[in-house]
A and B are shown apart, each in its own frame.
Chain A
């Protein structure tokens, strides 16, 4: 089945230690998104790639970066995680344009100690 895969499902990192979360898709979608979701809140869009074009949300901290080396893979890098960055991180994909339905991966739950 075509799908969105996120690894790892659970990640523990230390305060200030860089961490990378990965996402891959077999849907061949043009657009890939990264969301942050804190407990009992709606997902918050951090950024998205439209093909190779990177689009950052205005309120996304500089601490968060992303890479998309090819159509299938996208990475979320947190350069210096703080305690406030503990959250579920969701990857999603969609075919163009942005507003169409999005397909979500299972998420990576990040704990910062």
Chain B
């Protein structure tokens, strides 16, 4: 079975600073990987996904993530954050034909 570990429960960062949210997964087979963002009292919105191909994936709102198979990681990065990026971020993994497995989430707090 697959599992996802988000290494930080909260990440505080100042506005315009870079940020990295860490995600590690475990699986014995090839995986699909996703990052979702959830603003307060909202549903989840897909930021980006890795299904195959290039290991560097670009998503919405200036976010990107890199799939590293040897380290079983899929860390999310943004070079310069805004106050509006304050939200909870979920990493998720799946394998073909099976449901998504979510990590516990990382709350990104952007401070002015």
Contact = CB atoms under 8 A, between A and B. Distances in A.
Contacts of B97: 97-99
B67 interface: no
A68 B104 CA distance: 29
Interface string A58-99: 000000000000000000000000000000101010000111
Q: Is the interface of B mostly helix, strand, loop or mixed?
A: loop
Contacts of B98: 98-99
A97 B46 CA distance: 17
- Chain A's interface size range is 20 to 34
Interface in A22-42: 40-42
Contacts of B104: 41-42
A107 B36 CA distance: 15
Given A40-B105, A100-B32, A105 B100 contact: no
A42 B105 contact: yes
B94 A99 contact: yes
Given A103-B46, A105-B43, A97 B96 contact: yes
Interface string B8-48: 00000000000000000000000010101000011111100
A42 B94 contact: no
A97 B100 CA distance: 11
Interface in B92-112: 94-100, 102-105
Contacts of A100: 32
B90 interface: yes
Contacts of A48: 99
A11 to B, nearest CB: 13
12 contacts: A42-B105, A97-B97, A98-B94, A98-B97, A98-B99, A99-B99, A99-B100, A101-B46, A101-B49, A102-B44, A104-B45, A106-B42
